[in-house]
Amino acid sequence: MIGSGATGNFNNPTQVTSLADFTNVFGSSPSTDEVKLFFRNNRRGILYFVRTQIAQRNEITIATAAAGAYTVTINGTAVTYTAPASPTPTLQNVADGVLAAINANSTVSAAVVATPGSATSRVFVRSRVPSVTFTLTATTANLTQAAATPTTPIAADYVYAIENSFDAADEWPQGFLICPDAFMLLTAQSDRLAVGNAMHALASDELFDWVALVDSGPGLTPAQAKTEGELYVSPQGHLAFYWPYLTDLENATVAPSAAVAAIATLRYKEQGFQEPPAGAQYPIQGVLDVVTRINTQVQDTLNPSGINVIRNLRNKGVVIWGMRTRASDDLYKQVSQRVIMNTINGTLRRGFDNFLFTAIDGYGILLNAMSQTASAALESIWRGKALFGATPVEAFEVKCDFENNTPALLSQGNVIMEVYVVTSPALEKLLINTIKVSIGTLPLNQEQIDVTTLEQA
């Protein structure tokens, strides 16, 4: 979980084991309610929290607009924009010019970035690296500057934390990435999209293979949720989108991703990772209702777009009533299918350490041993019902021999192993046909009945 807090290390994934543990480490946090929701739904869930650092930000204000030079000094380097006499300068023109001049200066732009300020006459200057500060002086008389560092992270802060908190060399296991803090606090859709896309980029990195669970913005209508969800593109299903928000037992509005991650990991422990994080078997605990209730007709307009809806259903409770990713490829449209592939990738990625730095023999003994190791792992996954097929041959195939490993490839110390798998789909819709027939026409399969009767005799 990427979020923010009053205390604790920045950009360092830290495991917390309970809400009390989280509060002890990170203090007051906008993520407190989501952490509480996570542990209410999976008391033994493994949650790592990343505290986002807020970058220094100053704001330059242009007092008057006139032809001439406008100079600011950043980290000792003077940056000047000269406004022409014609056309007549405006506050907006001068602000745009100062902004462009800062970003065009290679020395300055390596440390800071300029963006539009809180008004047309203002420019924000923000540190590119949150842990690094800068100095800014408004040199020209008609310019002023003031500290404008926000109290909660902006989109760029969250993106930096997502991109710089995890090292693939640490061999993080497959899991979920959530950032409810950002989707609740960021009011601009473009900012939420920037965070969601950064989450997807990390999750889809082959060295991680995670699933990003993205929340909608708060207070969206079904139509707005559909529009926002469709902005995300995930070719191989590494991102799933959830709406609406929930009302917890303390009447606080909370983002659903924490509950989805908790229920997913709980169900994996109890039933296997091939099961989807959805359905009436695992209703969301610790909530009173959904913020927005919809009917089946409305959901039918959202589900094809991969908008996973949380619903309050009679006799079922508050349930996750969708299990789709934002993939256009049918092979990756279900969250469970992406999770199965992630688990296979992680298992195989860590399963051949003992084979590395071993001589490749000309008899194919090494290649055959590697194939058998992969096949054994896949057969175990198949027996756990994560791969579809009545036999292992129907469920997976491993190819690692001299046919797909040429002498030129082997001479470079490289070996290719091709693994083909058929992931088990999850039941999303049950279609029952009831047909009335005449008396005496059943059973339809009389031959089978005769055989069964004979065996019983």
From edge to edge, which strands make up the β-sheet containing 112-116? Answer: 112-116, 122-127, 57-62, 143-147
Return the percentage of the chain with pLDDT > 70, whole number. 97
Q: Is the pLDDT of residue 137 over 80?
A: yes
Q: What's the chain's average pLDDT? A: 94
Q: Is the pLDDT of residue 318 over 80?
A: yes
Return the percentage of the chain with pLDDT > 90, whole number. 90
- Percent of residues in the chain assigned helix, strand, coil, to nearest 5: 35, 20, 45
Q: What is the predicted pLDDT for the residue at 416?
A: 95
Q: What is the predicted pLDDT for the residue at 440?
A: 85
Q: What is the predicted pLDDT for the residue at 457?
A: 44
Q: What is the mean pLDDT of residues 39-56?
A: 97
Q: What is the mean pLDDT of residues 114-138?
A: 96
Residue ranges of domains in the chain: 2-53+154-331, 57-147, 352-421
Has this prediction a pTM greater than 0.85? Answer: yes
Q: What is the mean pLDDT of residues 149-161?
A: 97
- What is the DSSP-derived secondary structure letter of residue 324? B
CATH class, range 57-147: alpha beta
**Residue 101 pLDDT class (50, 70, 90 cuts):** very high
Q: Measure the CA dihedral 286/292/297/299, to 10°.
A: -60
Q: How many whole angstroms separate alpha carbon 82 and alpha carbon 152?
A: 35
Q: How many whole angstroms separate alpha carbon 284 and alpha carbon 320?
A: 8
Q: How many whole angstroms separate alpha carbon 291 and alpha carbon 295?
A: 14
Q: What is the mean pLDDT of residues 339-345?
A: 96
Question: Is the Cβ–Cβ distance between 247 and 289 less than 8 Å?
Answer: yes
Q: What is the mean pLDDT of residues 8-16?
A: 97
What are the helix and strand counts (H, E) for the chain?
15, 20
Which amino acid, residue 370?
Answer: M
Q: Is the pLDDT of residue 398 over 60?
A: yes
State the fold for domain 2-53+154-331.
Answer: Rossmann fold (3.40.50)
Q: How many whole angstroms separate alpha carbon 283 and alpha carbon 317?
A: 6
Q: Is the pLDDT of residue 378 over 80?
A: yes
- What is the DSSP-derived secondary structure letter of residue 6? S
Q: How many whole angstroms separate alpha carbon 183 and alpha carbon 192?
A: 6
Q: Is the pLDDT of residue 451 over 60?
A: no
Q: What is the mean pLDDT of residues 65-74?
A: 95
What are the beta bridge partners of residue 61?
122, 144
Q: What is the mean pLDDT of residues 129-152?
A: 95
Token pair 């965070």 in the structure block, residue: 195
Q: Report the chain's C-alpha Rg in angstroms.
A: 28
